[in-house]
Amino acid sequence: MEPAPAGQKEGSSRFRASEHQHARYNPLRDDWVLVSAHRVKRPWQGQLEKPPPEDVPRWDPKNPLCPGATRANGEVNPQYEGTFVFPNDFPALQPDAPEPDDSDHPLFRAAPARGVCKVMCFHPWSDLTLPLMSLAEIRTVIDAWAELATDLGASYPWVQIFENKGAMMGCSNPHPHCQVWASSFLPNEARLEDRTQREHLSQHGVPMLLEYAEQEARRKERLVVENADWLVVVPYWATWPYQTLLLPRRHVCRLQDLRESERDSLASIMKRLLIKYDNLFEVSFPYSMGWHGAPTGPHLEEDCRHWQLHAHYYPPLLRSATVRKFMVGYEMLAQAQRDLTPEQAAERLRSLPEVHYKEGDKEM
């Protein structure tokens, strides 16, 4: 019997990331995720989710996001034909809130929080989602995002663009739309990513996510889709089963800094990714996604070279259209944990067709 390799105990098996438990470091959040690949085969006897409805009406007068519908505040939507932006009728942030009183103890601190919240409809039809929209329609959405980021970012330090897709992610209206919240402060995730990216540039001389994109483009094992300007990966440190990270190849700090050609190619790669998501379980795939870029407002005059624009996609589905991952127990009290490895998830997504399953049915 041959002796075990140096650093490996006699009788122990060689480590395989696809079979053995291990922890992976997330440099963007400065934390760790436990990968328990051996648990993939465990039987599921837990909660089953209700699949999203497939019979959403194209127009519903009771849906407050539809053209011509009356919203909760009594306002009537215009007969819009493209994107439509309006103030959130129930905003989490308002521009004129009074400041809290000074704290009498360091354990009971409060700070001012002001801002604005907007809703943006992607399309007038309720039965469409981004993967079923045309490239020109998606490009219009991207341009509207950039315009909102510019307008709100002129005065607010942080502009968070995010989409909650599907009832599983808390979306209350079956209509293609997103939200945009601008705040007078940097939220927790923004402050964390600002620190980690700043430290990486200081220590290594290159923006973290620019270097990461170059590495993933070369390694390819976690690559899902790519084009000349963008790539999508299941990040090495992914927490959610089919989580992805959308990255530009060029150093870009903010969404509004994208070139015309990069906006076109962004529309293309978004459509390709989202078609793959829907095709995975042949369902309108739920997720929360959002853009992160360099802070704005007073930070526009600062050196933000450490930032690299990126979008996070966080989908909850695990094994099927009805089985989701829950972040509970150990994940709430200790650290994030996943079963399926990022490489396995990327391979599954990568192998899926880029023709939407609904469009494929029409062609047959």
160 annotated binding-site participant: no
The active-site residue out of 123, 175, 177, 306 is 177
89 annotated binding-site participant: yes
Long-range pairs for 148-151: beta carbons < 8 A, 24 or more residues apart: 148/85, 148/118, 148/120, 148/180, 149/254, 149/255, 149/256, 149/291, 149/293, 149/296, 150/256
Active site residue 105: no
292 annotated binding-site participant: yes
Measuring CA to CA, how many Å separate 227 from each of 177, 272, 317?
Answer: 26, 10, 26
Pairing between β-strand 244-248 and β-strand 31-35 as defined by DSSP bridges:
unpaired
Other beta carbons less than 10 A from residue 219's beta carbon: 12
Other beta carbons less than 10 A from residue 31's beta carbon: 14
Cα 176 versus chain centre, distance: 16
164 annotated binding-site participant: yes
326 annotated binding-site participant: yes
d(CA 314, CA 165): 10
φ, ψ for residue 226, nearest 5 deg: -155, 160
26 annotated binding-site participant: no
d(CA 62, CA 84): 17
66 annotated binding-site participant: no
243 annotated binding-site participant: no
330 annotated binding-site participant: yes
Give 312's contacts (C-beta < 8 A, 6+ positions apart): 243, 244, 245, 246, 289, 290, 292
d(CA 41, CA 221): 22
Buried b (16+ CB within 10 A) or exposed e, 173-185: ebbbbbbbbbbbb
229 annotated binding-site participant: no
193 annotated binding-site participant: yes
Pairing between β-strand 158-165 and β-strand 177-183 as defined by DSSP bridges:
antiparallel
351 annotated binding-site participant: no
Collapsed DSSP state (helix, strand, coil) of residue 181: strand
172 annotated binding-site participant: yes
109 annotated binding-site participant: no
Determine contact, residues 244/273, Cβ cutoff 8 Å. Answer: yes
For the chain, helix, strand, coil in percent to 5 are 30, 20, 50
218 annotated binding-site participant: no
214 annotated binding-site participant: no
42 annotated binding-site participant: yes
Which residues are designated catalytic? 177
Which residue ranges make up the annotated binding site? 39-42, 72, 88-89, 164, 170-172, 179, 193, 292, 310, 312, 325-326, 330-331, 337
Which residue ranges make up the annotated binding site for UDP-alpha-D-glucose? 39-42, 72, 88-89, 164, 170-172, 179, 325-326, 330-331, 337
Which residue ranges make up the annotated binding site for Fe cation? 193, 292, 310, 312
